[in-house]
Chains A and B, each alone.
Chain A
Amino acid sequence: MSFSIRQIAKRADGGDIIRTRLFDAAEITVGRGTDCDIQLADLGVMLRHARLSQLAGGLVAIEATGGIPLEIGGQFVNRAELVVTDNPQINIASHRLSLSAGETADTIAITVERVIPANDAADASAETGIFSLRETMPSKRVLAWALAGLILIIGLALPLWWMADRDASLPKAMVAEAARGDGSASRAGLLPVTPVAAKGAMQPDIVWSSGQLSDAHAGLANNCGACHQAAFVSVTDSACVACHKPETTPDHAGKARMALGRLPATGAIAVIHKQLNLSETRCTGCHKEHEGPRGALMVAQSFCTDCHAGLSSRLTDTKLANVPDWAGHPQFKPTIVRTALLTTPLFTRVSLAQKPQEQSGLLYPHDLHLSTSNAVANMVKAQGLPGQDGLLPCNYCHVRDSDGVRFKPIEMEKNCAACHDLAFASDGGTTRTLPHGKPQQVAGIIRDFYLAQALSPRAGVKRLAFERRQPGQMAELETADLRITSPAEARARADAAITGIFSKGGVCADCHAIINTGAPDIARRYSIMPVTLTDHYLPKGRFPHKSHETFDTKTGDAACIACHTGVPKSHLASDVLLPPVASCRECHESSNVRTNVAAECSTCHGYHYGEGGHGGDVTRPRKVGP
């Protein structure tokens, strides 16, 4: 009855230390306690962990005495009887007891060894890693790869792949819009463009967009290919011209003159541009995109003045004065009528500085018509025309045209006839009126009137006088003696009447200058001086009256007069009542902060439209008379 125990300890350098003891007893104890036969220095073990007792027939009874079940062949038991010959193994914490038959019949060999090494086995130097973050963080390398990879995919690979087979067709609507080429005002930046929503889903290459597109081009947001047609090639004019056809976007001036007039680029930049063959005249030279809503039209002032500052030196035959900048903008030179002619009136440009006099052929004293006390005022009241106590408002005659830039032409019938009527006889209720602008006919009508009375006089026919009266209440003249006895008398009376009308004090002479040809035939003797009214004084620019209607808190006539200061005092139609450039400067780029507004060239002038692309319109003179 004995146990032979082989206790195996591992040496640090790997070797084994085997200690064997023989217990001449039927029973041995296992535990951490010093009093145990098999002592296991392992805190996982109870002080007295188990008891082994040898039974007859090669059996061993093992019993947990520490209250912790023993692990035998995978099961946890508190007591077991083991057959020694099938070499059972008992696990106690990190140790293992292997039983086997000993040398002699009644000895049992127990091999005790630690199967789970103690934690302080590893050497310190190996563990110094715990002092660095390497063990707790993903390596910098991994992070770097991951981030860089992600960015390269989204920022480069995807867009490139997309770019390879993209559909660069232009949106129809926008092409059409551009082709119509109207909205010159809007192009002058006077009216806002409503951005066209971009069609289609967002594209991968959007990440390459360097900024928001201008409203006009907003529709191309998902269509980079529309402009950026080839890789590594700066946007070409062909891309622009695809929509903006020359006929709707004319050149600023003839190629030849442009070439002459342009300030040639110099310096390093010019060289670089040359190297990359970026033409100085390319669209993108002036029009920068991806610069926000107004980007494409945000053309720098300097782009104009670069050339116009010293234009005359390069373009020697130019009529244009040099314009260094707004402050140096020359005085307005309105286009005025030098000789009014029915067929080909003559115009001339005279600087306001030279107090120009216009020969429109019409007589119109503004002061007379803008009085509140004279006959005109009474008449206005009597006729119930608009205006405060008889003061005729500007817009009675000057009516804004549709786009609010300029004014409808003035017409005798619309704007004058209310007071200046041409009735001359009444025939039983019906009032006979002379036609306007037809002097021969007028003569004819009057002569016929008298002749008719001579041949077959009728009662109830009255001649009317031309004094200013309420119409219908005119003094009857010659009612009694309108019995003409002889044709000779009739002719004499007719001649007198015609002469009266056309001569001073006559109804025509109120507004017109009369020419006495002295022809024997009375009907051919008198004719009217032709009238030409200027339709557009400053054809090279645009002045949007509409947006100036209220000005410096004034409205209505006050607003008009604020600029057209000469009007109330002018009693000659020959006065040119335009405000000088100075009065623009009162607000535009003025030092007066309250009213200060921008004054870019493009505020008044255009580039790509109008006559010679200067943004004005052809003058349309108003001719009067046959």
Chain B
Amino acid sequence: MVKGHKVLPGGEKGVSEHFKIAIVGSGPAGLSAAAHAAKLGIPHILLEKTGHLSDTIFKYQKGKHVMATPSQLVLRAGGTGVDGQGGLPFEAGKRELILGNWDAGTAAAKVNVRLNAEIKSISGTGTPIPGSIQKIVTRKRDGTSETKELQRHAAPYRLVLTDGSEIIADAVILAIGTQGNPNLMACPGGNLPHVQYQLDDPAEYNDEHIFVIGGGDAGIENALGLAADAAQGNVVALVNRTAEFSTAKDANVKALMAARDAGRIAIMAGTTTKSVEPGWIVMETPDGEVRARCDRIIARMGSAPPRGFIEGCGVEFASDDRLAYPKLSAVFESTAPGIFVVGALAGYPLIKHCMNQGHDVVEFINGNTNLKPADEPILEAKFRNLPGNRSVSEWLDHLRSNVTILEGMSALQMREFMLDSEARAYRAGDVIFERNAPGSSLFGVAEGTALVEIDPNNPAITVPLNQGTIFGEVGLISGRRRGATIRAQGDCILVEISRTAALRLMAAVPSARREVNRITTERSVLQIFKSGLTVGDLADIVATARVETVPAGKAVIREGEDGDDIFIIRSGSMVVEKQIGGKPVFLNYVPAGSYIGEMAVVDGGTRTATVRAAVKADVIRLGGEAFRALLAEKPELKARLRADMATRIQMNSMIESKKDSFRGVVEMYTGVANFLIDNGVGEATDVLLIDETLCVGCDNCEKACADSHDGLSRLDREAGRTYAHLHVPTSCRHCEHPHCMSDCPPNAIHRGPTGEVYIDDSCIGCGNCQRHCPYGVIRMDKVPPKKPWLINWLLFGQGPGPGEPDKKWAYKHAKAEAPKKAIKCDMCTGQSGGPACVRACPTGAAIRVSPEQFLSVALLDRGND
């Protein structure tokens, strides 16, 4: 029995309405699903937690330009008309426009919406499904975990809302995104009306006593926003559980301290809320309980990912990795039959994807099984020029079955995976990639065999890589350049898996991750001995291998300690130090891919130096005994190791010899080196340094940067740290593992052919990269209008002159409203002259160096002045 789909505000308690489809979440996915359902006349209900539709986009700052990428993807959900006939309209434009269209669209389509309806739980009301028991593992802070078992029940599902009302639905579409729910205040009175969990417009509140709770970036930014304008007369206090603001970004903390010194914000560190009363707040401070006047509490204590809730519904995730997504069938159906997951939660962050899925999933539920996903044409394009004409799905299965690490993936995952990857056919002898080519993608051999040239000097010496295996993992994991050239032996078909796709894969498919790790270990051990060993010889060494993650600054080897383990640095980098005269003296910088600790094994005795992580690093620890055994039976290996050690020993002795004669020099060297590493040079591949004994502050570097990149400077010369007149300006370091790449919805950030990290123009201006960059080198800005000809400025002072035009001028001469996009250094790729900032420095103060070179800079002509 089906009830009419008219909107029932609230819904009376007890009585539960029945719908065919309940859609949870009114984001792009949810909306388009609902709109499509409405269009098909399917009884449905759209449940939105907040008081308005599509909260995420609603929360964008006013006037933000929302993009519609990927452009090649058709929006099958959407016509453009707002009559709802063609489904929901969507095209790139201002936030307001889009929201307006959607509201109009949903209204026109007579979607049955219920706002302020938050789901507490979803559970099947049908018969228990035999054998379908879900294990839910919940981890605690202390590391212990408990496992709860849950018997799945068949549809229809009961959705219980926080206001107690219930809804029955045959199918549930979860489109709740990844945002999750803010952590609530546990203390008594936490539910009082003047406690809120977000701040939309700081300008709303005047003359209030406001307490912001939580020392994360969100909290600090809110507090600053509220206190920014003295005219508002707000009395703002920031409450933080701990004494430090460890989780917040440096810039934010600085700003906060400045605000405190200016007397605009009171900071209550090491304080917790005890209770909340109307107009008052009671806190537990280090020096006792405090009761203070309080008109408003803004609690920003982070948010719990929706995973817990979703698992509670019987939906299983691919792995317990943070990045993992729910296991889904090709039709978005989760492990709980009748519960479908779409949108960001399903791993599709882009609006177009979401809307298409919303449309598709409704089609599926409606029984239309032979509907091809919207991204079909894209995939077709990818496979078009491969031999052996297969259909897209055939290709997907083919690859999945042939490449070992792909096996664990669902059809849907495979599709999504292929969107970020490439399948290529190579003819015999084709070079797949060359030694020292930058590249962080992973290759899987689907057909044929590839050859690795182990010896750079003699391409004849090769090792075959057979069908099913992978290669390129070193680049993927260490973020460094390719270690060897790889050719196709016969004709072969390879899958090139982009870095992002690979990381997602490893997160989603544990088996894949294990496989990759095993191969990396094996091969990096082989690397140590160059050629002359087989995997067989290494079996028992590899057996002892353990992958460990070392936080920045932690030592893996300590001078004077016993221990004979050998470490291979998988990612990140390390610094070698030695205690000289009671002071640690910087000896060496060890990049990823190299190994340390072999001296003790070869020569015995205690560790001769301390090795600590320059940045967060992954190391493979190899047991010393197994190693010694191997060396015992292969003396020539020992010799080679000795040879390799020679250079380091030399370095040590050099420093040793210098330590008395040039104590100052050695200390300066150490100081500079450490300073550079503290400033992220350790994880950099290329960094801009400025020698401030030469820099006259003409800012020609910035001007050159702006003029060679459509009028926007990607570097801030002045800002940044300085040590001994060596200045590290705010400019991209092109990290080995770019933080900015970690979460880019349109996947617009790549590592270019010369190693630079660049953002392509599919950027949607979401600002994630800006937030993630620890060095603050990414800015969001719009391209300024074109400047008049330089000569006109030179002669007649027309226009703003060289460099980035000032905001006023740009605003005055702006033609059309341009979207703000993420902007960062691209190392002037495609400019044969190399980085413009360096070329344009009149005094030679600006130099760009790679970590291998920066030590020489540290030493250079500082040693002898």
Contacts of A141 in B (CB 8 A): 794-797
**B206 contacts across to A, CB distance below 8 A:** 17, 19
Of the residues B229, B794, B797, contact of A11 by C-beta under 8 Å: B229
Query: Do B797 and A15 touch (CB < 8 A)?
Result: no
Query: What does the 1/0 interface line of B775-818 toward A look like (CB < 8 Å)?
Result: 00000000000000000001111000000000010000000000
Given contacts A139-B797, A141-B797, is CB(A19)–CB(B231) below 8 Å?
Answer: no
Distance, CA A10 to CA B233, complexed state (A): 11
Is residue A403 contacting chain B, with contact meaning CB distance below 8 A?
no
- Cβ-based interface call for A135 (8 A): no
Given A139-B797, A141-B797, do A12 and B228 touch, yes or no (CB 8 Å)?
yes
In the complex, chain A residues whose CB is within 8 Å of the CB of B228: 12
A13 on the B face (CB < 8 A): yes
Q: Is A22's beta carbon under 8 Å from chain B?
A: no
In chain A between 1 and 48, which residues have their CB closer than 8 angstroms to a CB of chain B?
A: 9-13, 15, 17, 19
Contact A15 B207 (CB under 8 A): no
The reply to whether B231 and A10 form a contact with Cβ atoms under 8 Å apart is yes
> Which residues, 406 to 425 on B, are CB-close (under 8 Å) to A?
none
- With A and B bound together, what is the CA distance between A299 and B797 in angstroms? 54
Q: How far is the CA of A17 from the CA of B797 in the complex (A)?
A: 41
A12 to B203: give the CA distance in the assembly, Å.
10
Mark interface residues in A134-145 (1 if CB within 8 Å of B CB, else 0): 000001010000
Q: Is A13's CB under 8 angstroms from B797's CB?
A: no
Q: With A11-B231, A139-B797, A141-B797 in contact, is A19–B207 under 8 Å at CB? A: yes
Provide the residues of chain B in CB contact with A17, threshold 8 Å.
206, 231-233
Contacts of B794 in A (CB 8 A): 141
Interface hits, A61-81 → B, CB 8 Å = none
Which residues of chain A are near B203, meaning CB under 8 Å? Answer: 11, 13, 15
Using an 8 Å CB-CB cutoff, how does the interface string of B84-123 with A read, 1 for contact, 0 for none?
A: 0000000000000000000000000000000000000000
How far, in Å, is A310 (CB) from chain B's closest CB?
A: 59
Query: How near does chain B come to A119, taking the closest CB pair, in angstroms?
Result: 14
Chain B residue, CB-CB nearest to A142: B797
A10 to B, closest residue via Cβ: B231
CA distance A479 to B139 in the complex (A): 181
Q: CB distance A11 to B232 under 8 Å?
A: yes
Set of chain A residues within 8 Å of B796, measured between Cβ atoms? 141
Could you say which residues of chain B place their CB within 8 Å of the CB of A12? 228-229, 231
- B-side contacts of A11, CB under 8 Å: 203, 229, 231-232
B residues near A15, Cβ cutoff 8 Å: 203
State A10–B232 Cα separation when bound (angstroms).
Answer: 9
Instruction: Tell me the smallest distance from the CB of A619 to a CB of chain B, in Å.
Output: 76
User: Closest chain B residue to A16 by CB distance?
Assistant: B231
Alpha-carbon gap, A15 to B204, bound state (A):
11
* A residues near B207, Cβ cutoff 8 Å: 19
Give Cα A9–Cα B207 distance, bound, in whole angstroms.
12
For the complex formed, measure the closest distance between the CB of B230 and the CB atoms of chain A, giving whole angstroms.
8
Q: Which B residues, 207 to 234, have Cβ-Cβ distances below 8 Å to chain A?
A: 207, 228-229, 231-233
C-alpha spacing A13/B225, complex, angstroms: 12
> Could you say which interface size class chain A belongs to?
10 to 19
Cα A15 to Cα B203 in complex, Å, equals 9
Give the residues from 229 to 249 in chain B that come closer than 8 angstroms, CB to CB, to chain A.
Answer: 229, 231-233
Q: How far is the CA of A13 from the CA of B206 in the complex (A)?
A: 14
Instruction: Report A96 CB to chain B, min CB distance, Å.
Output: 16
Question: Which residues of A in the span 189-240 have a Cβ within 8 Å of any Cβ on B?
Answer: none
- CA of A93 to CA of B382 in the docked complex: distance in angstroms? 73
B581 CB, min distance to chain A CBs, angstroms: 43
**Residues in B neighbouring A19, C-beta threshold 8 A:** 206-207
Q: Which residues of A contact B231 (CB under 8 A)?
A: 9-12, 17
Whole-angstrom distance between the alpha carbons of A139 and B797 in the complex?
A: 10
- Report the bound CA distance from A12 to B794 in whole Å: 36
Chain A min CB distance to B640 (Å): 58
Residues of A within 8 A of B233 (CB): 9, 17
A147 to B365, CA, bound (A): 83
Interchain CA distance A494-B432 in the complex, whole Å:
150
Chain B 183-223, CB within 8 Å of chain A: the 1/0 string?
00000000000000000000100110000000000000000
Q: In the assembly, what is the distance between CA of A11 and CA of B225, in Å?
A: 12
Question: What is the minimal beta-carbon distance from B621 to any residue of chain A, in angstroms?
Answer: 50
CB within 8 Å of B: which A301-328 residues:
none
A40-B799 Cα distance, complex, nearest whole Å: 43
With A and B bound together, what is the CA distance between A15 and B797 in angstroms?
36
Hey, which chain A residues are within 8 Å of B232, CB to CB?
9, 11, 17
- The distance in angstroms between the C-alpha atoms of A191 and B309, with both chains bound, is 122
Chain A nearest CB: distance from B739 CB in Å?
27
Task: Specify the chain B residue showing the minimal Cβ separation from A13.
Answer: B203
**B-side contacts of A13, CB under 8 Å:** 203, 229
Type the 1/0 row for B632-665, where 1 means its CB is closer than 8 Å to any CB of A.
0000000000000000000000000000000000
A126 to B807, CA, bound (A): 9
| Least distance between A13 CB and chain B CB atoms (Å) | 7
In the bound complex, what is the Cα–Cα distance between A15 and B232 (angstroms)? 10
Q: What is the minimal beta-carbon distance from A130 to any residue of chain B, in angstroms?
A: 14
Interface positions of A from 109 to 149, Cβ below 8 Å from B: 126, 139, 141
Across-interface contacts of B229 in A (CB, < 8 A):
11-13
Point out the residues of chain A lying under 8 angstroms from B808, CB to CB.
126
CA distance A270 to B797 in the complex (A): 49
Minimum CB–CB distance from B596 to chain A (whole Å) comes to: 47
Measured CA separation A13–B231 after assembly (Å): 11
Contacts of B795 in A (CB 8 A): 141
Which A residues from 130 to 184 make CB contacts under 8 A with B?
139, 141
Q: How far is the CA of A73 from the CA of B396 in the complex (A)?
A: 84
CA–CA, A19 and B207, complex, Å: 9
Instruction: With both chains docked as a complex, state the minimum distance between the C-beta of B270 and any C-beta of chain A, in angstroms.
Output: 32
**What B residues does A126 contact at CB under 8 A?**
808
Residue-by-residue, is A316-359 near B (CB-CB < 8 Å gives 1, otherwise 0)?
00000000000000000000000000000000000000000000
A209 to B175, CA, bound (A): 91
Q: Report B595 CB to chain A, min CB distance, Å.
A: 49
Closest to B230 in A: A12
**A 252-264 to B, binary, CB cutoff 8 A, 1 in contact else 0:** 0000000000000
B203 CB to nearest chain A CB (Å): 6
Residue of A nearest to B229 (CB): A12
How would residues 365 to 380 of chain A score, 1 for a CB under 8 Å from any chain B CB and 0 otherwise? 0000000000000000
Of all chain B residues, the one with the shortest Cβ separation from A18 is: B206
With A and B bound together, what is the CA distance between A9 and B233 in angstroms?
10
How many angstroms from the CA of A95 to the CA of B477 in the assembled complex?
65
Give B117 Cβ to nearest chain A Cβ, in Å: 34
Give complex CA distance A13, B201 in Å: 12
B607-626: contact bitstring with A at CB < 8 Å (1 yes, 0 no)?
00000000000000000000
Contact residues in B for A139 (Cβ distance below 8 Å): 797
Complex CA–CA separation, A139 to B206 (angstroms): 46
B793 nearest CB neighbor, chain A only: A141
Q: Which residue on A lies nearest to B207, using beta carbons?
A: A19
Query: Which residues of chain B (464-489) have a CB below 8 Å from chain A?
Result: none
CA distance A11 to B226 in the complex (A): 12
Report B830-853 CB contacts with A as 1/0, cut-off 8 Å: 000000000000000000000000
B261–chain A nearest beta-carbon distance, Å: 16
Q: Which 7 A-B pairs have the closest CB atoms?
A: A9-B231, A12-B229, A17-B206, A11-B231, A11-B229, A141-B797, A17-B231
26 interchain pairs (CB within 8 A)?
A9-B231, A9-B232, A9-B233, A10-B231, A11-B203, A11-B229, A11-B231, A11-B232, A12-B228, A12-B229, A12-B231, A13-B203, A13-B229, A15-B203, A17-B206, A17-B231, A17-B232, A17-B233, A19-B206, A19-B207, A126-B808, A139-B797, A141-B794, A141-B795, A141-B796, A141-B797
Residues on B lying within 8 angstroms of A by beta carbon are 203, 206-207, 228-229, 231-233, 794-797, 808
Q: Which A residues contact B (CB, under 8 angstroms)?
A: 9-13, 15, 17, 19, 126, 139, 141
Question: Told that A12-B228, A19-B207 touch, could you supply 7 new A-B pairs with CB distance under 8 A?
Answer: A11-B229, A15-B203, A17-B233, A126-B808, A139-B797, A141-B794, A141-B796
